[in-house]
Structure 1
Amino acid sequence: MSCTGKKDDQSIRNDLAAIELSRGDITLCGVGKDQFGSVSFTSACSEDVRDNFNLALALLHSFEYTEAEKMFAKVVDQDPSCAMGYWGIAMCNFHPLWSPPTQADLQKGAKVIKLGRAVVDESSAASDYLEAIAVIYDHADSIDHRVRLSKFEKASERIFDKYPDDAEAAIFYALALDAAVDPTDKSFKNQRKAGAILNKLFEEKPNHPGVAHYLIHNYDYPELAEEGLPAARKYASIAAASAHAQHMPSHIFTRLGLWDESIESNIKSVDAARCYAEKSGLKAHWDEELHGLDYLIYAYLQKGDDAKALEQLKYLNSIQTVSPVNFKAAYSLAAGSARYALERRDWSSAAALTVTPAGFPWDKFLWEQANIHFAKALGAVHINKIADAKKDLQKLEALLAKLQEQNETYKANLVSIQVKAAGAWIKFKENKKSEAIAMMNEASFMEDATAKHPVTPGEVLPARELLGDMYMAISDPKSALKEYEASLRTHPNRFNGLYGALVASRSINDIEKLAYYKQKLAANNFLGDRPQMEIFKEIPIKM
């Protein structure tokens, strides 16, 4: 220790060596070598390490957490007195828009915060930044993650207010607002506030990776997606070396039903992710690859290109090992097979699904595996295997109970919607039609009030679309059309939504809407030979 009470550089280096930080040269495989965007934080650290710091910051803004940590580690290795370097490492273990830090992340972050506090000038901006991220790690064993997110939002707001000329303070405050979003808030209070901040900065800093990236996340909602399109069409070129940057625009493309753009985005992302796994020596498939595959399968299915969707699904199902083992990988593995069966209304295949791969720790991913049991229940009930459907409904109910025990309120709500929808179809097949319609309506209203999880391109089947199917099954096409149209407002250009609206329009002899939905299907260049397309071909485009 020095006479000032602060640790000397060698002492800190010894402490750093004891922490298992990611180190080494960065490895990225996007479509543009060494393109990360323009970031400049001129007040951070000494001039000798500033370029490395700014590169680390650019990587952090594209959620390339492992690679960003390598660069922040290089910064503090070179300059142990750089408090913002410790802040950066702590931010790399936070993952604000993904899932809560693991126990290992929390332990690492707490150690790094302690080192940062040992060198920081408590009157500096660096201290404010460090204390803001510290709320995620301090007392993490006794404070709920949602509470810590709220604390992070408030701490970030104080920095934003205190340093009005600091663009990074504004950008990270916008990120904090998004991280602390209440998924049931349909006024989008946080998103609108963050959007106002980011849109102003987008004009001033059109090549900043964080601004474009966070705008996409901020507007990843049906009601807001149109506002995210300029950022979506720009971000991939800003941070072309990032696989995540290649993928992120497809969140907005998916929300708007722009399937060709989503496919192009995810082909590039998946290729970059495979390259990253190879170059970084992973003995597994990188989770970012699986995430892109999920979106790619979804987009192909909406175009009716079942052959290409199946090609990607077979590849996805061949994957046995992933790194890291997390919710992104779990969701993709479960959702891919469920989507392929349900979107094609292949009820027998849906009923026969299994939770794979067998060696994956599914007990840690309850909501993710629920998608398989939901698909199995719907499949079984549609081929009149009611007993099998009830077994999968019981499994859904058991998963729901576990999520409730774990206080996973949001995920429990998602599974609760599936429980009601599956239960509604079972009652429908038991000839309890009124009860079934009421339950399906309830599931639809619940889904309307709940934002989708950022990991998914959409529910494996939207509840209102299923409600439309149920109305068609009781020969009420007028009510069915209303539900298909409501679903299409939040899920534009979905194949089954458009097709359902087309058939319902024909059933009620609504010539104007029949022509409209025929043209919508034609405009989306739907491919393939699903049986439904026979009806499509029977109807002339011009009426």
Structure 2
Amino acid sequence: MNYSNHTQIKLGFILFLLFFSCKKDKRNQNLTGLNLLRGELQLCGTGQFGDINFSESCSYETRETFNLAIALLHSFEYVEAEKAFVKVIDQDPECAMAYWGVAMSIYHGLWAPPTPSVLTKGKKLIAISKKLPKSEKATQYIEAIGAFYDNWKTIDNQTRKEKYARKMLEMYQKYNDDTEVSVFYALALRASALPTDQSYLKQREAGKILEELFKKEPNHPGIAHYIIHSYDYPELAKLGLSTARRYANIAPNSAHAQHMPSHIFTRLGLWDESISANLRSAESAICYAESVAPGAHWDEEVHAMDYLVYAYLQTGNNKLAYEQYKYLKSFKEIFPPNFKIAYTAAAIPARLAVENKNWYEAAQLNLLQNLDIEWNKFPWQTSLLHFAKALGNIHLNNLEAVQNELNVLHAAKQKLTIINDDYKANQVAIQIKTIDAWLNFKNGHTDKAIELMKTAAEMESKTSKHPVTPGEILPADELLADMFLMLKKPQQALNYYELNLKKHPNRFNGLYGAAVSANQLGNKNKALKYFNLLIQQSKKSDSDRPEIAEANTFLNQYVP
């Protein structure tokens, strides 16, 4: 090689390095301020999250990581999904779909609306991805989620979710033979459903699409997961039972995949299955927390605990239910301090008190302070505890204290109304109506009390359950039945207990109330039926609930 050629090659190499360096600097500048999550993936177990083959991933070298990121995304393992997509970005900065993946990882359509910082991040990610080379299908994916992030300062969350769903519909109509397009469309459709729409048209349509896909791809985590979310309603839950029993095995290393089947089990009153699912979920969540933040507790563990306590209470197992509460009170650090943790921290003590009709305990409740929760940011969650306190004080005749709790509930409703969170404002409105009803009852205005309680029950019947909760602190129908029973009107009480049991199968207090009402009516066969059910579902718990003792005493009268 002569000197001239050597100089040209060297010069060319230097120019290449300068070009690459400038390009790299430009890319880094594009990513500045995005707070992308990086680091080694923390996957407990063997990293099994189901089978994914996403056709719009980028370079061959990143395909395995990209598919893992999609699998994690489909099981709502959002943090690890983002880290996996960022690994793809770091390895292949020109991969437009990796930026899409991060934007999808921070879009939690079924949960609380994103914060401004999240929306800003999403919009920047979409802007970067739009400038990169990509296929026509990738362009449509990016434009679809971009519709959610566009104009977020002026367009409300629900409208933007609907815009995203319409864009995904266009994709689905064009690529309905593409599994991932179909799955993401079904999720977008389900997420856009209004909680007040009890026709469940969107949920049914999403479920129909997913069920057809599940026949072809029985090990796909997103298909199974979103079937459960589509059918997480009393009227639809049976449609999701077989899938619920399979999902945990599809993604065994996902804490959320272990928990999610319990949504269906709870709808159907299958308490033993719910308990098993949430014990596995909590164990998986603890494993994850030990990897990323030793000594802290992840929100998936806390979320599982709420469902555990609810299921334990329905089996009459106060011992294990209170152990969960004691354990929660021992926590010193949680992550992230979000709406799920706030809900559980308020709901568990409220449930324990009012489900047991321990009115003194209910009246003494206070928000947990050992957890890093800014309670003023969670008016709906705090209302759960103040609702329980109000009920406790009513039954103790501390009516002045009840008014104080009502004032807190009205303030919570006003906060939610101001921020246009109509669903949660309505939930608090139901609580207010219920407390008004019981106040009137205590003051001897029984006709007014029944009227108000019927209104509360009707309001509740028209509102779907939020995915964060296994159920209301106390169902309005059940409280109305309790009121009729106290008025010595067992037929009306039985009617409402049975109505409530259709919506909340195998609730402990519902079964007990129905049995007592039937017995007072002289309907021994129906009393036997409900007392037997109560005994059957509590037989594994060694329950010390007085209702169980009463049931056994009644049943022993009819043993040959």
Under TM normalisation by the shorter chain, which class is it?
A: over 0.9
Between stretches 279-288 and 415-424, larger displacement belongs to: 279-288
Aligned counterpart, 1:86: 99
Q: Does 1:11 align with 2:23?
A: no
Give a deviation string over 1:372-418, Cα, whole Å, max 9, x none: 00000000101111111121112111111121111110000000000
Between stretches 15-24 and 298-307, larger displacement belongs to: 15-24
Q: Does 1:119 align with 2:132?
A: yes
Quote the offset at 1:105 in angstroms: 1.1
Aligned counterpart, 1:365: 378
Aligned counterpart, 1:193: 205
- Say whether the 8 Å CA contact 1:444–1:464 is kept in structure 2: yes
The 1-side partners of 2:197 and 2:166 are apart by: 18
Aligned counterpart, 2:146: 134
The 2-side partners of 1:318 and 1:357 are apart by: 11
Quote the offset at 1:18 in angstroms: 4.7
The 2-side partners of 1:53 and 1:423 are apart by: 54
Quote the offset at 1:17 in angstroms: 5.5
Give a deviation string over 1:515-537, Cα, whole Å, max 9, x none: 21122123313431112223201
Q: Does 1:103 align with 2:99?
A: no
Structure 1 residues 8-407: aligned runs within 5 Å? 11-16=26-31, 18-29=33-44, 32-121=45-134, 124-281=136-293, 284-357=296-369, 360-407=373-420
Between stretches 38-47 and 308-317, larger displacement belongs to: 38-47
The 2-side partners of 1:38 and 1:77 are apart by: 24
The 2-side partners of 1:407 and 1:20 are apart by: 29
Letter of the 1:484 partner, please give it: Y
Between stretches 132-141 and 241-250, larger displacement belongs to: 132-141
- Say whether the 8 Å CA contact 2:535–2:552 is kept in structure 1: no
Quote the offset at 1:259 in angstroms: 0.6
Aligned counterpart, 2:471: 458
- Say whether the 8 Å CA contact 1:22–1:70 is kept in structure 2: yes
The 2-side partners of 1:318 and 1:428 are apart by: 39
Letter of the 1:80 partner, please give it: P
Ranges of 4+ aligned residues in structure 1 off by more than 3 Å: 7-10
- Say whether the 8 Å CA contact 1:120–1:127 is kept in structure 2: no
TM-score by length of 1: 0.96
Quote the offset at 1:318 in angstroms: 2.3
Between stretches 236-245 and 517-526, larger displacement belongs to: 517-526
Letter of the 2:50 partner, please give it: G
Give a deviation string over 1:183-237, Cα, whole Å, max 9, x none: 1111101001001100001111110000000011111100000111111101111
Quote the offset at 1:124 in angstroms: 1.0
Aligned counterpart, 1:422: 435
Between stretches 353-362 and 505-514, larger displacement belongs to: 353-362
Gaps of 5+ in 2: 1-15, 17-21
Quote the offset at 1:320 in angstroms: 3.9
The 2-side partners of 1:429 and 1:320 are apart by: 41
Give the count of matched residue pairs.
535
The 2-side partners of 1:350 and 1:210 are apart by: 40
- Say whether the 8 Å CA contact 2:317–2:538 is kept in structure 1: no
Give a deviation string over 1:93-140, Cα, whole Å, max 9, x none: 10111111112211211121111011034x610010001111121111
The 2-side partners of 1:24 and 1:273 are apart by: 19
TM-score by length of 2: 0.93
Identify if the C-alpha distance between structure 1 residues 133 and 308 changes in structure 2 by more than 3 Å, giving closer, same or farther. Answer: same
Q: Give the CA RMSD over aligned residues.
A: 1.6
Between stretches 247-256 and 39-48, larger displacement belongs to: 39-48
- Say whether the 8 Å CA contact 2:534–2:548 is kept in structure 1: no
Structure 1 residues 409-488: aligned runs within 5 Å? 409-488=422-501
Q: Does 1:514 align with 2:527?
A: yes
The 1-side partners of 2:288 and 2:56 are apart by: 32
The 1-side partners of 2:43 and 2:445 are apart by: 56
Letter of the 1:443 partner, please give it: A
- Say whether the 8 Å CA contact 2:56–2:97 is kept in structure 1: no
Q: Does 1:525 align with 2:558?
A: no
The 1-side partners of 2:99 and 2:343 are apart by: 32
Letter of the 2:323 partner, please give it: E
Q: Percent identity over the alignment?
A: 49
